[in-house]
Each structure stands twice: as C-alpha cells, then as structure tokens.
A and B are shown apart, each in its own frame.
Chain A
Amino acid sequence: MTLTSPAPRATHSTPTDTLLDFRDVEMTFPDGTIALQGVDLVVKRGEFVTVVGPSGCGKSTLLRIASGLEHASHGTAELGTDRIGYVFQDATLLPWRTVTDNVELLAELHGEKKKARAEKAAEAIELVGLKGFEKHLPRALSGGMKMRASLARSLTLDPELFLFDEPFGALDEITRERLNDELIRLFNAKNFAGLFITHSVSEAVYMSTKVVVMSGRPGKIVETFDVPFPQPRDPEIRFTPEYAALVGEVSHALRKGHGHS
C-alpha cells in the first residue's frame, strides 16, 4: 500500500517521528495564482495540527500536496509514512454500496481478501459507532453518519498520518461538536498524527495540539500556537477562560493575516 507519486516527495520505510515535513512549499497554479508561498510545516507523531485560514487561502491545497494529489511547484514535501488516511470535505461514499461495502472499499482496492477486509471494516464501523447500520445505503444516513462512515473507511488503512479536509464543515453545530469529541478519542486511541483543515477557530483550538494560522492569498503561515490543554480533551475546557483567551488570540492572528491580503 504505497502512495506513489513523482518527486519532490519521498517515502521512508523506517519509522520516524516526523510524519510530514513541508519545506518552503510554494504552489502556483497554471493561471498564475499563487496559492501557497514559503510554507514550512512539520507534523510529528502524537501531534494533531490544525490549519485555520480564510476561504481560498490554500488550506486544502496543502493537504492535496501532502497526499500526492498535487505536486508543489517549489520546495519539498516529505512524508514519514506510507499509511495515510484522507478524509474529504464530502463523505464521498459510493451511493450504490452499503456502509460495510463502502468501508471495505480501500482494502478491496488494495486487493485484500474478503475475510480480512470484512474484519477490518467491522472493527472500523464499531469504532466510529455505526454498528447496526452496516447494511444501510448512504442515502439512508444523516450527514453526521455519512462522515462517520467516511472516517471508518480511512481507519481501515490504519493510518499513521491522517489528513482531514474540513470534514465537518457542512454539519450542524451540535453534530460537529460530537464528531470533534469522537475524533479526539480516535486520535488518542489509535495514535495517528493529524493534519486538520478548518475555518472554525473554536474547533481548531478545541481539538489540536497545535494551531497554524494562514493568511489569505497567497497562503502563508502567519502564526503558530501550541495548545497547552491535556489530551484527551475534556469537553468542559470550552468554558474555561484559558480556552477563550486562546481562541481570541488565534482569531486575532487570523484577522491580522486576512488584512495582509
């Protein structure tokens, strides 16, 4: 299971602590738009890094480069693992497949045997709390449940690095908060490193160990905040003054960065 893609991306087989290493990454689109400029970003084992920034600042491009869907026009993006999970903005479930068949898809694409992938799928489905919905088609699921199924699908890869592209952006506030908690629990249980894209500052501060603020186009990193709260997160920290203060600081940095463009 390798994500092959031409340089400038290299894959190491030996376990390292640095799972993602962006150095001076720049992305210029064919039409001349500079989406990213001079981005240095490291994601290490045990980290959950969230990138916040205004719409169109190249946040998603960052993930697309990390996953190999696109290649940086300048700089290097190195991966420390080939076990990468990618959760899209949409659940991207195949509408003709049941939840189980959707969750099995990635293992199926890697040619795993029916029995092995059924076991993996069952485990992942239980992990995201979709037990009892295995035979359902995506159209019978709510938005939150679809995202859970999508999450389960990536979990079958047992990723070391998990990339999230605003996965909960289309969900209502309550569902989003529940899924934030779920994801934090998965993060602590499965020990993957996370790179999470969002435009919600409170979501960013609540979930991550590190918050990276990006400016508007061209997307640059304007400030990085370490989040000191212990993992697993207690939902109650949302009501502490420390949390509020940090959300305020990040928001301030975001506004400042927005002003730059």
Chain B
Amino acid sequence: MTTISNETAVGDDVDTLQSHPTPGLPVTATVAKPKGKNRITKWLPPLIVFLAIVVVWYLISLFVLNPALRFLLPLPQDIIMKGFIDPLSFNALIVALWQTVIVSMLGLAIAIVIGVAWAVAMSQAKWIERSLFPYAVILQCIPILALVPLIGFWFGYEFQSRVLVCVMIALFPMVNNTLFGLQSVDKGHKELFKLQDASRTTTLLKLSFPAALPAIFAGMRISAGLAVVGAIVGDQFFRRGTPGLGILISNYSSRLQGEQLFATIITAALFGVVIFWLFGLLGRRAVGKWYDFN
C-alpha cells in the first residue's frame, strides 16, 4: 500500500475538533461533573423536602396521635432504636432482607435470561413475533395476584413460588425492551452487514445485540424494581420457609409493632432504591461510553 502524505489529512478536522483529545487516549464524554457549588444546589432541595417531612412526622406523632395509637406513626428515634438497633429486630431484619435479596435477584436473573431469549427468538422472524408477542402482553395484563393461588397449588408455598412471582412480574419489561432494542437497529448498519454476506448469527452477535444493549439495560432497571415488588408480594402469600421482608411486614403489622414495621418498610424501600441505582450504574458502566444512559 502506498501511503499518501497526510499532512493535510486531518486538516479539516482540526477546526471542528477544538478540544482536541490526546491521540491514543480513549475519549469519554466531556460533560462536566457537578462539583462544589453545583453539588449543593443539586442536593439541597430534596434535603429540605426531607427535613420538612420529618418535621410534619414529629408534629403528627407528638400532637395529633393519641399516645395509645402512636404505633400508627412512631417517633423517628423510636423507629431507629426499637426497629433498627435493637438486636432482636436487627437480626430479624437482616435475615429477612437477605432472603428478599436472594428471591428478587434470582427472579430477576431468570427473567433477564428468559426475556432476552424470548425477544431474540421474536426478532428472528415476523411469524415468531406474531406467535409469541401476544403471550408477553397477556402475561403483563394478568393481575398477578389472581394467579397466586394457582402458583401455590402447583409449586408450593415456599421459596420457588416466591421466585416465580418475581419472574412473572419482571419478565415483560425485559421482553419488550429487548425486542424494541433489537428492532431499532440502524438500517445502514444492517445493509453494511448484508453487503458482506454476514450470517444471521454474526449479525445478531456483532450488530443487533450490542445495538440493543442500551434498551436491554433500561429494561433491566425497570425489571429489577419490579422483582423487589414481586419478592415482597410473594412473601405475603407464600409464608413457608425462611421469611423475607414481606413476611416480616405482615407479622409486625398483625402484632401492632409500629417501630419494627416502619423499620422494615424503610429497609424494603431503601433496597428498592439501591437496586434501581445499582442497575443504573451497571447500565452506564456497560454502554455509557457510547450511549447517554441515564
């Protein structure tokens, strides 16, 4: 190969690329991260809302509720002392949380595998999509609670039934998002592969699947949140075996243990938030370099 002089080769780009990155170094998006003052303006408003909620909470708990009914809204410090720090409550909480983590994450993992496989199958031919998509929609439309007794009959009232509820509740966003991602592959990219006679498998692995990753990760985040809901809901119906957060919640509420009940609900909520954040982070890690995943 003869090399043409490339003195003027990058000439056209010097003016268009003002913030010329160092050649050879990987370039990431150059959006400035919020720092110092920015960070304060970012966190201050929600913090103020939080403090306002706590103040209203105290007011209701102290001045509105009859002390005999205080279990309806216990004082925050009582929730912390009796619900979280008390060794008995703490142990029960940790065991239940761990159980919920296992159930929801296992359910999520199964939903991801089935959902992606389902969508990949549908993306391979229109007739497969026509055959299978209605069932994904039906799965989404069946009120899951209506199926719960049947799941109990078939699979018992323990671990596997709880996982199954998580799978069913988390499946549709995976199917739908993956299919959407696979089907929105750029036409030019498809033709590029077609021109090289790329096989179906090669096109799937090197084009459609990577192109669908942002949508897959977006679906994963939605499904992760739903899997947590599924684990709590499953707990309320399938009560055998090691209790999860859901069983703990119904136990505490039936015993009117307001402090422990609130501590458990807060734990469940925090777990949901952490999962949402974690899968957002995972998505940004996986595709953030080339896609604005938020």
Q: Chain A residues in contact with chain B, CB under 8 A? A: 1-4, 67-69, 84, 86, 88-90, 92, 94-96, 98, 105-106, 108-110, 123, 126-145, 148, 174-175, 178-179, 181-182, 185-186, 189-190
Q: Which of the residues A89, A92, A110, A123 comes within 8 Å of B196, measured between beta carbons?
A: A110
Number of interface residues of B (CB under 8 A): 41
The interface residues of chain A lying within 8 Å CB-to-CB of B290 are: 95-96, 137-139
Known: A141-B13, A142-B13. 8 other contacts (CB 8 A): A69-B194, A90-B188, A126-B6, A127-B6, A134-B24, A136-B21, A142-B17, A145-B17
In the bound complex, how far is the Cα of B194 from the Cα of A67, in angstroms? 10
Q: Which of the residues B4, B17, B191, B202 comes within 8 Å of A185, measured between beta carbons?
A: B4
With A144-B12, A178-B11, A178-B12 as known contacts, state yes or no: A133 contacts B23, CB within 8 Å. Answer: yes
Check if A109 sits within 8 Å of B6, measured CB to CB.
Answer: no
Top 9 nearest A-B pairs by Cβ distance?
A129-B9, A132-B23, A129-B6, A142-B16, A140-B27, A92-B188, A178-B12, A175-B12, A109-B196
Check if A140 sits within 8 Å of B21, measured CB to CB.
Answer: yes
Q: Which of the residues B3, B21, B197, B198 comes within 8 Å of A126, measured between beta carbons?
A: B3
Shortest A79–chain B CB gap in Å is 13
From B8, B12, B290, residue with most partner A Cβ within 10 Å: B12
The yes or no answer to B241 lying at the interface (CB within 8 A) is: no
Q: B1-55: which have CB < 8 Å to A?
A: 1-4, 6, 8-13, 16-17, 21, 23-27, 29
Q: B191-205: which have CB < 8 Å to A?
A: 191-198, 202
Check if B16 sits within 8 Å of A92, measured CB to CB.
Answer: no
Whose C-beta in chain A lies nearest to the C-beta of B189?
A92
The yes or no answer to B136 lying at the interface (CB within 8 A) is: no
In the bound complex, how far is the Cα of B282 from the Cα of A71, in angstroms? 45
Shortest A132–chain B CB gap in Å is 3
The interface residues of chain A lying within 8 Å CB-to-CB of B213 are: 96
Check if B26 sits within 8 Å of A92, measured CB to CB.
Answer: no
The interface residues of chain A lying within 8 Å CB-to-CB of B25 are: 135
Shortest B39–chain A CB gap in Å is 26
The yes or no answer to B240 lying at the interface (CB within 8 A) is: no
Q: Which of the residues A92, A95, A148 comes within 8 Å of B192, measured between beta carbons?
A: A92
Q: Chain B residues in contact with chain A, CB under 8 A? A: 1-4, 6, 8-13, 16-17, 21, 23-27, 29, 186, 188-189, 191-198, 202, 206-207, 210-211, 213, 287, 289-291
With A96-B287, A140-B27, A142-B13 as known contacts, state yes or no: A3 contacts B21, CB within 8 Å. Answer: no
Whose C-beta in chain B lies nearest to the C-beta of A145?
B13
The interface residues of chain A lying within 8 Å CB-to-CB of B195 are: 3, 67-69, 84, 86
In the bound complex, how far is the Cα of B290 from the Cα of A4, in angstroms? 33
With A88-B188, A142-B17, A144-B16 as known contacts, state yes or no: A95 contacts B23, CB within 8 Å. Answer: no
Check if B196 sits within 8 Å of A106, measured CB to CB.
Answer: yes
Check if B17 sits within 8 Å of A2, measured CB to CB.
Answer: no
In the bound complex, how far is the Cα of B191 from the Cα of A68, in angstroms? 10
In the bound complex, how far is the Cα of B169 from the Cα of A222, in angstroms? 63
Check if A2 sits within 8 Å of B24, measured CB to CB.
Answer: no
25 pairs from A and B in contact (CB 8 Å cutoff): A67-B195, A68-B195, A69-B191, A84-B195, A88-B192, A92-B189, A94-B189, A96-B289, A96-B290, A96-B291, A98-B26, A106-B196, A109-B193, A109-B206, A126-B6, A128-B9, A129-B6, A131-B23, A134-B24, A136-B21, A137-B27, A139-B29, A145-B13, A182-B4, A190-B1
In the bound complex, how far is the Cα of B197 from the Cα of A1, in angstroms? 9
Whose C-beta in chain B lies nearest to the C-beta of A86?
B195
The interface residues of chain A lying within 8 Å CB-to-CB of B202 are: 109
In the bound complex, how far is the Cα of B6 from the Cα of A68, in angstroms? 33
In the bound complex, how far is the Cα of B197 from the Cα of A4, in angstroms? 7
Whose C-beta in chain A lies nearest to the C-beta of B5?
A185
In the bound complex, how far is the Cα of B210 from the Cα of A4, in angstroms? 26
In the bound complex, how far is the Cα of B211 from the Cα of A92, in angstroms? 13
In the bound complex, how far is the Cα of B192 from the Cα of A92, in angstroms? 8
Shortest A145–chain B CB gap in Å is 5
Check if B13 sits within 8 Å of A123, measured CB to CB.
Answer: no
The interface residues of chain B lying within 8 Å CB-to-CB of A174 are: 12
Q: Which of the residues A94, A136, A142, A181 comes within 8 Å of B207, measured between beta carbons?
A: A94
Q: Which of the residues A95, A98, A129, A145 comes within 8 Å of B291, measured between beta carbons?
A: A95
In the bound complex, how far is the Cα of B1 from the Cα of A123, in angstroms? 7
Check if A182 sits within 8 Å of B9, measured CB to CB.
Answer: yes
With A109-B206, A127-B1, A135-B25 as known contacts, state yes or no: A179 contacts B12, CB within 8 Å. Answer: yes
